[in-house]
Amino acid sequence: MSENQRHSGGGSAFVLLLVVGFIVMFWWVIVAALGVLLLWGLALYASRCLDAREDARIALAARADQQHAWVLAGDERGTYGEYDPG
């Protein structure tokens, strides 16, 4: 076994020890950062849901306006909308 092969495991063990030490020492910072990321993700998700609901309301209002215009014009589509009674 060469000299380089015998000591290669020591470097990775040292790096692992540093990582574990960092996690143990700064666990509260890691938890706080994950909490902030979670809250940001939830806010982004809620914003997108609200945008989708607003788009649905706008589409509904547009259909209602169109149907109202049809009623004023005497067209049956204004009364029944997309439903075909016949």
> Tens place of pLDDT for every residue, the chain, 86 residues?
555 555 556 788 899 999 999 899 999 999 999 999 999 999 999 999 999 999 999 999 999 999 899 889 988 778 877 777 66
Phi, psi of 81 (to 5 degrees): 65, -130
Q: Which domain holds residue 69?
A: 3-80
Cα distance between residue 82 and residue 86, in whole Å: 12
- Is 86 contained in some domain? no
- Is 85 contained in some domain? no
Domain total in the chain: 1
- Is 73 contained in some domain? yes
- Is 36 contained in some domain? yes
Q: Is the dihedral of CA 21, 26, 31, 36 positive or negative?
A: negative
